[in-house]
Amino acid sequence: MTSEELLQIANTVHAETAKFDFEVNVCMGTGCISQHSDKLKAALSKEASANTDAGKRCHVRRTAVWACAPRAAGSGRAGECDAR
């Protein structure tokens, strides 16, 4: 992938997220799915769609373990989510 392609992706994502006033990230990693994050995402998406009376828009976005978990010390990779 070239730097121009990465820049195009970044610009596309930025334009898409600029349409929303709020963004909620819901992890869909294995540990979080086991704690029903898929149901949480569905419920949040439904509420966000239903509650636009104040003119505010909310995007509920699916993320993965790498986006929500702290990096495992010294390993350079993400650890599992702490689903306590």
Contact call for residues 83 and 35 (beta carbons, < 8 A): yes
pLDDT computed for residue 83 by the predictor: 47
pLDDT computed for residue 15 by the predictor: 93
pLDDT (tens, 9 = 90+) of the chain, 84 residues, equals: 899 999 999 999 899 889 999 999 999 988 889 999 999 999 999 998 888 777 788 999 998 866 555 555 554 445 555 544
Q: How far apart are CA 72 and CA 84, in angstroms?
A: 17
